[in-house]
Amino acid sequence: MNTMKEIADLMLSRFNAYQTLARFWIEEVDEAFWQGLKKTAFSSGHEASLLNSAYRKLEDYISSAPPDVLKELAADYALLCRSSNPKQGADPYESVHRNQYGLMMQDEWEEVLRFYHEAGLKRSPASVEPEDHLGLELECMAQLCQKFITAYEQKDEEACLNLIKMQLRLLEAHLLLWVPSFTEKVLKIAKTEFYKSVAAITNEYLIMDAEFMRSER
């Protein structure tokens, strides 16, 4: 088990990771985000071979992308995340994947609302998506990481321990219950290696991160 200082240092890395993952899913890739990705050195130190493989595939796509890459990615994002037909899209909503009828804004969505309220989290005001959208759940994990850093700086060990529990709860009671299903759909229907790689990275990172958080509770 790491010391609180070591965990706080790791929280900053996790904050950045979750912010990036959230940005991948909350909206289409625009020019600014794409240029940032081209300058990004993706991690290569993870023991998880599937995660490393997905990072390398993403790097390969970025380095060999076609001139009209933003149009290609916008079309793929629309197919995966904005399809009006659940049988055609991947549906980045927890309720769709966990509800037996595949419907949005059901009991599972209400569970997410209660969790956000209990954890003192707020959705991004810039988003019009339901609170159980993948991008928003990942953004809220980033918020929890930031809350831990603040609590550590204030020497509030009780709050730090509670925030570790809250993060693990968001992973185990929400994200890990449906992101594997979402990832499976993306891998089946995505047209670009970009979104196939991003889906695999998201899923494998969550699995790896849950293992880390379990070791720190």
**Average pLDDT in the 74-100 region?**
86
**C-alpha closest to that of 164 among 138, 182, 145, 179:** 145
Assess whether pLDDT exceeds 90 at residue 14: yes
pLDDT in tens, 117-173: 999 887 777 777 889 999 999 999 999 999 999 999 999 999 999 999 999 999 999
pLDDT value for 86: 57
Radius of gyration over alpha carbons of the chain, in Å? 17
Bridge partner residues of 129 (DSSP): none
pLDDT value for 40: 87
Please give the angle made by the CA atoms of 202, 83 and 64, to the nearest 5 degrees: 50
The model's pTM is 0.92
pLDDT value for 56: 92
Residue that wins the pLDDT comparison between 125 and 115: 115
pLDDT value for 24: 97
Q: What are the extents of the domains in the chain?
A: 4-40+47-216
Bridge partner residues of 93 (DSSP): 133
pLDDT value for 15: 96
Task: Name, in order, each residue with C-beta under 8 angstroms of 137's C-beta and a sequence gap of 6 or more.
Answer: 94, 112, 170, 174, 175
Least confident of 53-57, 88-92, 150-154, 200-204: 88-92
Percentage with pLDDT > 70 across the chain: 95
Residue that wins the pLDDT comparison between 47 and 82: 82
pLDDT in tens, 31-67: 999 999 999 887 765 566 889 899 999 999 999 999 9
pLDDT value for 47: 60
Q: For 4-40+47-216, CATH number?
A: 1.10.3480.10
Bridge partner residues of 133 (DSSP): 93
Report whether 162 contacts 152 (CB < 8 A).
no
Assess whether pLDDT exceeds 70 at residue 204: yes
Phi, psi of 133 (to 5 degrees): -65, 140
The total of other beta-carbon atoms located within 10 Å of residue 39's CB is: 7
Assess whether pLDDT exceeds 70 at residue 85: no
